[in-house]
Chain A
Amino acid sequence: MFYHIFKYRLKVLLRSKEMIFWTLLFPIALSIFFNLAFSGLRNQDSFNIINIAFVDNANDPNFSEAINSVSEGEDRIFNMIRTDLENAEKLLENDEISGIIVSDENITLTVNSSGINQSIIKSFIDQYKQVTSTATRILSQNPQAAADLPAEIATRISYTKSDPMGKSELDIVLNYFYALIAMTCFYGGFFGVEEINQIQANLSKRAARVNVAPIHKLKSFIYSLSASALIQLIEITVFLTFLIFVLGVKFGENMGLVILTTFIGSLTGISFGSFIGAVVKGNENTKTGVLIGVTMIGSFLSGMMFGEMKYIVQTNAPILSYLNPINLLGDAFYSLYIYDTYNRYYTNIAGLLVFTIIFSISTYLIIRRRKYASI
């Protein structure tokens, strides 16, 4: 009997185009749009070598050397062009360079707008001037230092040591994809809604028909739910594979846990859909409407449309981020990617399991009823 119901359920679900669209094709389409749209956002604050023009009117060899030293080699800060003022201004106007350094008796900077690149150029010139000031001061206080001074100036010791926190490079775009995969898991709720529809005799004629067959209602529910769960798990695996191998979304090193998380999330999603199917009054369109609506609000709060939203909720209304199962799921992926420890991950997973249990028990309490007040 299990095989019979399971097999036909698979056939029905796989042939239902609408279902496959919402649970698989739509998320894939969204992920492609994300990928196209966010590729720029990803590079937004990464450091790009700054283009500058240098107008050397003073022929100051020291400054010339200083500016050369930061405009050469792998670690250079600037791409520098030596040119005349007129040409430099043209370049600046066309936004081809960020600033013009003019060296007369005084060194000045000309820019087009305020920004971090411009600030960096300014810092560099400041520093050069500061070194000059320092050298003058030292010589006035200790004339004997003159011999050592050039070597001291040339020595640049690095006093900073990097202590990378966590294991990853804090790619801000990833959270969009985490929220998206969380949404996809919850779109598995479409299956839940559909399964309830197929077993509650007061919701559909086919359910009434199956209810009069000689088979235990809960058993047939579980049999056909297994088919739904299988499809959802396959779809989410396909989606995950697509994200990882086609779009190159990073999930951290622990692939096993990532897959486990998608599976747990899918189950929460299906139980969530069943819960809506059982609790919400109205026809199937209303139910899927509620499902999409709630999922979208949840996804929004976990940063799917606007990345910072998740952080805003987390810092201003932390309770809301725990009460939002989609955020728990998105945050579980985030925790796996960002943190070295698993505490927060386990908290998220525990939260998801609690939700799954609440949804399942509520669903059970409603569908265990075998006779209906009205059909």
Chain B
Amino acid sequence: MIVEVKNLVKRYGDLVAVDDLDLEVMEGEIFGLLGPNGSGKTTAINCILSLLKFDNGEIKVFGKPMSPEAYDIKKDIGIVMQEVAVFNELTVYENIDYFCGLYITDKSERKKLVEEAIAFVGLGDFKKFYPKKLSGGLLRRLNIACGISHKPKLIILDEPTVAVDPQSRNKILEGIVELNKNGATVIYTSHYMEEVEQICSRIMILDNGKVIATGTKEELKEMISLGEKITLQVFEMEDTHMNFFKTMENAVSVDYDGKFLVMKFQKGNSNLEQVLDYVKSHKINFGKIHTEMPTLNDVFLEITGKELRD
């Protein structure tokens, strides 16, 4: 077990930022912490890093209790903070070298590692640039390079893609997967469900400091009753047809806006088949047909009654 958190409670006055959190991260996984802004993701991370005092709980990293003085633990952790934390007075190369140097004392080894990190995030052309001259996406990449250059066993990334252009975002996500392939365990927090779905092997959903659900994305989706959503482009819809769809066994809701028929179903295997059969047999003239499986947003929506992103 790489990280083990038990009964973590962190209060700010009356506000309970993290409420009895249990968390386990296994070696080799990409663990996603998903939740809206203010759900307690960053607070939990800061507690794990021993930056914050907490009111209750126990935290172990690499099987050993975590504390500010646990330097043997800290040296194997790489951290990429939510906000960019680099020196404006240092160039790209110098920034990475500075942070790497806090972990690696050997100069020639460090030189190699820094070059690797630069190549890894694709900042090779910007080595001599000062952070002020970098675009938002490049700056984020620099921030990541500063966190991972020393090849840590555990990498914690706290919303590394906020306000990043799609190109940089893909590059970052691919990079994280690659780091994981090279043997690092990753904790990844985000409020973008697509990202978490795309790269995380296991996901924990947080809301108001509480754990709502934990599991692989398949497991999470199993938890809810919602099945697929079928959208059908039809140009005319008679009431009898509407009634049929509404009375289908798994149907949750059926809406028609004059163009599209949107049907939501509970879990069941033959929903699409039944719809298609009916449409064909009644010679209903239809255009496109489109079906979607539930997303993590649906999971979040069903459990908390609100959208993940407001």
Do any beta carbons of A and B sit within 8 angstroms of each other in the complex? yes
Interface residues of A (CB under 8 A from B): 1, 4-5, 8, 11-13, 15-16, 201, 204-206, 208-217, 370-375
Asked if A213 and B86 sit within 8 Å, CB to CB, the answer is: no
Task: State whether the Cβ of B163 lies closer than 8 Å to any Cβ in chain A.
Answer: no
Asked if A371 and B51 sit within 8 Å, CB to CB, the answer is: yes
Task: Report the bound CA distance from A206 to B51 in whole Å.
Answer: 13
Task: State whether the Cβ of B145 lies closer than 8 Å to any Cβ in chain A.
Answer: no
Smallest Cβ distance from A192 to chain B, in angstroms?
A: 18
* Known pairs A205-B85, A371-B68; A212 contacts B52 (CB<8 A): no
Task: Report the bound CA distance from A10 to B95 in whole Å.
Answer: 13
Smallest Cβ distance from B104 to chain A, in angstroms?
A: 10
Asked if A212 and B49 sit within 8 Å, CB to CB, the answer is: yes
Asked if A214 and B103 sit within 8 Å, CB to CB, the answer is: yes
Asked if A208 and B75 sit within 8 Å, CB to CB, the answer is: no
A-B contact pairs, 28 of them (CB 8 A): A1-B101, A1-B102, A1-B105, A4-B98, A4-B101, A4-B102, A8-B94, A8-B101, A201-B51, A205-B81, A206-B87, A208-B81, A209-B81, A210-B102, A211-B68, A212-B51, A212-B74, A212-B79, A213-B99, A214-B72, A215-B71, A370-B50, A371-B50, A372-B53, A374-B12, A375-B46, A375-B51, A375-B52
Task: State whether the Cβ of B262 lies closer than 8 Å to any Cβ in chain A.
Answer: no
Task: State whether the Cβ of B178 lies closer than 8 Å to any Cβ in chain A.
Answer: no
Task: Report the bound CA distance from A205 to B86 in whole Å.
Answer: 9
Number of B residues, CB within 8 Å of A = 32
Task: State whether the Cβ of B77 lies closer than 8 Å to any Cβ in chain A.
Answer: yes
Task: State whether the Cβ of B219 lies closer than 8 Å to any Cβ in chain A.
Answer: no
Task: State whether the Cβ of B16 lies closer than 8 Å to any Cβ in chain A.
Answer: no
Tell me which residues from 69 to 125 in chain B have a Cβ below 8 Å from any Cβ of chain A.
69, 71-75, 77, 79, 81, 83-87, 89-90, 94, 98-99, 101-103, 105
Asked if B102 and A213 sit within 8 Å, CB to CB, the answer is: yes
Asked if A15 and B99 sit within 8 Å, CB to CB, the answer is: no
Which of A5, A15, A214, A374 contacts B75, CB < 8 Å? Answer: A214
Asked if B52 and A11 sit within 8 Å, CB to CB, the answer is: no
Closest to B95 in A: A8
Smallest Cβ distance from B108 to chain A, in angstroms?
A: 14
Contact with A along B205-239 (1 / 0, CB 8 A): 00000000000000000000000000000000000
* Known pairs A212-B51, A212-B79, A372-B51; A206 contacts B86 (CB<8 A): yes
Smallest Cβ distance from A266 to chain B, in angstroms?
A: 22
Task: Report the bound CA distance from A206 to B102 in whole Å.
Answer: 13
Which of B50, B85, B94 contacts A209, CB < 8 Å? Answer: B85
Taking CB atoms, residues of chain A closer than 8 Å to B98 are 4, 8
Asked if B85 and A11 sit within 8 Å, CB to CB, the answer is: no
Closest to A373 in B: B53
Q: A211-B51, A375-B46 are in contact. List 9 more A-B contacts (CB 8 A).
A: A5-B102, A8-B98, A11-B89, A12-B90, A209-B146, A214-B75, A371-B53, A372-B52, A374-B52
